[in-house]
Structure formats: C-alpha cells, structure tokens
C-alpha cells in the first residue's frame, strides 16, 4: 500500500489484516444485521435481536459464522484494499502527483468489483452460517466452519452456487469501496487542509473513518439487503431483479434500507477500527524490512 502523500510502498495485505481485526470486534453486530435483513417481518431492533440470540441460542452464538467472516475479510478486503492502493500507487509513480477524486473513484470501482468477485464464495458461506439457527431443523446446514461450508456447497449444489448473488455483491463491492475508501481519503484531506488536523493523530483517523462509515452504509444498503436475501436462499432461482421487484411490491421502498441502523452500528465501528488499525500498521511499518 502507499500513502497518497508519499511514495512509501506498504504491504498488500494491510487492508485485509485491518479488516479481520475489525471483524473480531463487530461480528455480533454483523450477525444481528443479517438476521434482521432476512427476517420475514420488520420491526425488531438490533439490540433485541442480539438479546434474542443470546437468550435462545446461548452467548457463544453471537459469534456464529466467525470463521466465514474472517475468511471473507481475508479475501474480499485484502483484494479491494490491495488493488485500490496498488492502482493509486501506480498513478502517483506515473503522474508524480496526488490523485484527485476523478482518478480515485474509477480505481476504487475496479478494486471493489474484484474484491466482490474474489470474496463471493466466502460471503455465501458467511450469510448461511450466520442465519442457520433461524431455519427449521430439517433445513439447517450445520456447517462446521467456513471450509466445510465451501466443500459441502460445492458437493451438494455445485461450484456455481458459490457465486450465487454475484451481481449484487459486485455492485456492493463497487459501492462500498468507492464510498468507504475514497470518502476516507477525501475526508482526511479536508480535515487536514481545512481544519488543520494532524494527519498522524488518531482523532483525524477516527473523524475521517466515521464520515466514511456513514456514507458507505447509506450508499450500500439496497445492494446489501438484496445480496443477503439471494445468498440465504436455497436455490429458488430468483435473481437480484426479481427479488427486488417482489420486495418493493410486498414491503415498499423502505425494504431497501431494512436494517440501516444496525448496518451503520456494525459498519461504522468496523470502518473506524479498520482504518485505525491500518494507520497503525503503516505507522509502525509492520512486516516491512
């Protein structure tokens, strides 16, 4: 990775490692968000969902599907952060200047699409493992871990099933990377240039990442809800468009922002922790000689 204001090249894996740390912190919130998005009836709150999981399934169940979440970050986030920083670095080296939004947006879209593609199989397993406890006994998958889930999906449904929901996942990957990473870079620049905040201080990183989390949650919500429903389905054959039309007809426009608050309460802290850890990895040059 490379800073926008320097030519220091950082390891490709920084973004993925930072996201995996954030995943450990926010997984219970992500679990509750998935449950809310797949619920047949809206209205339940994030905290009531978490309470319900603990009360009915036990305290350890708030980390259901953790191996799949970690694998998802290891694939999806490593790819999108790594490709984004690589392309940004290439621009800086070629043009000898800091890239503007007109450059950052298209490279973030490319990075996000590649991240969505690489991370789709682990995302399918992640959604299923998190929602498994809500299914009737005869429909439970009971994956032991992420790799068991990948193997069993390939065996029983075919490898193509690992790319179920790919279209909305690609869209979400593009939207997430463009709104989250580019917003962070832009917000950080504004905070430094307009408010004279110190680029090395955690308060600057926290403020920029909070703004990025708010923007990313709002932009990604519709694609996230559709993606979750497709991946959780048992091969109904419905595509993103048919699910979207059906949901809009039966649930209204508000369906696209189902679970916005729990999404932000998960994505906000996740974004903050990710960038705080990322900046510390850069600061201490972890893994660099």
Distance between CA atoms of residues 193 and 212, nearest Å: 17
Place of tokens 């319900």: 52
How many Å apart are CA 140 and CA 227, to the nearest integer?
Answer: 20
Residue 3 in any domain: the answer is no
- Does any domain span residue 280? yes
* Total number of domains in the chain: 1
289 lies in a domain? Answer: no
CB burial of residue 199 (10 Å; 0-12, 13-18, 19+): middle
Q: Does 63 map to a domain?
A: yes
Per-residue pLDDT in tens (0 to 9) along the chain, 289 residues: 544 444 678 999 999 999 999 999 999 988 988 888 777 666 678 888 899 999 999 999 999 999 999 999 999 999 999 999 999 999 999 998 889 999 999 999 999 999 999 999 999 999 999 989 888 999 999 999 999 999 999 999 999 999 998 988 898 899 999 999 999 999 999 999 999 999 999 999 999 999 999 999 988 888 787 777 777 766 555 667 787 788 778 887 777 787 788 778 889 999 999 999 999 999 999 988 6
pTM: 0.85
For residue 8, give Cα distances in angstroms to 88, 134, 205, 220, 283: 12, 48, 19, 31, 11
Is 21 domain-assigned? yes
61 domain-assigned:
yes
CATH of the domain at 274: 1.50.40.10
pLDDT at 46: 81
Which domain does 257 fall in, by range?
14-284
pLDDT at 5: 46
Structure tokens at 212: 């990025």
Which of 16, 36, 40 lies closest to 28 in space, CA to CA?
36
Tell me the C-alpha distance between 52 and 31, whole Å: 12
Query: Which two tokens mark 128?
Result: 């299923």
pLDDT of residue 4: 45
Q: In the block, which residue shows the tokens 């519709």?
A: 222
Please give the pLDDT value at position 42: 66
State the pLDDT at residue 2.
Answer: 45
Let me know if residue 27 belongs to a domain. Answer: yes
In a domain, 5, yes or no: no
């Amino acid at each position: 990775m490379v800073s926008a204001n320097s030519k220091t090249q950082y390891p490709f894996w920084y973004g993925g490692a930072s996201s995996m740390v954030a995943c450990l912190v926010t997984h219970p919130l992500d679990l509750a968000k998935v449950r809310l998005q797949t619920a047949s009836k809206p209205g339940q709150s994030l905290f009531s969902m978490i309470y319900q999981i603990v009360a009915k399934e036990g305290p350890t169940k708030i980390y259901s599907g953790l191996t799949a979440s970690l694998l998802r970050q290891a694939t999806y986030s490593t790819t999108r952060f790594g490709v984004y920083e690589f392309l940004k670095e290439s621009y800086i080296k070629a043009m000898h200047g800091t890239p503007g939004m007109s450059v950052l947006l298209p490279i973030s879209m490319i990075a996000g699409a590649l991240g969505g593609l690489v991370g789709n199989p682990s995302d399918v397993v992640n959604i299923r493992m998190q929602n498994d406890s809500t299914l009737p006994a005869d429909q439970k998958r009971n994956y032991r871990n992420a790799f068991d889930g990948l193997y069993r999906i390939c065996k029983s449904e075919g490898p193509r099933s690992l790319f179920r929901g790919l279209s909305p996942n690609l869209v979400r990957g593009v939207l997430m990377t463009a709104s989250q990473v580019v917003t962070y870079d832009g917000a950080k620049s504004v905070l430094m240039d307009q408010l004279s905040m110190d680029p090395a201080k955690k308060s600057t990183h926290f403020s920029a990442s909070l703004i990025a989390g708010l923007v990313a949650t709002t932009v990604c919500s519709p694609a996230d809800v559709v993606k979750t429903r497709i991946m959780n389905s048992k091969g109904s054959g419905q595509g993103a468009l048919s699910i979207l039309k059906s949901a809009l007809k039966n649930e209204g426009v508000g369906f696209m922002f189902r679970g916005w608050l729990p999404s932000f309460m998960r994505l906000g802290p996740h974004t903050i922790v990710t960038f705080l850890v990322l900046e510390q990895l850069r600061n201490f040059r972890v893994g660099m000689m």
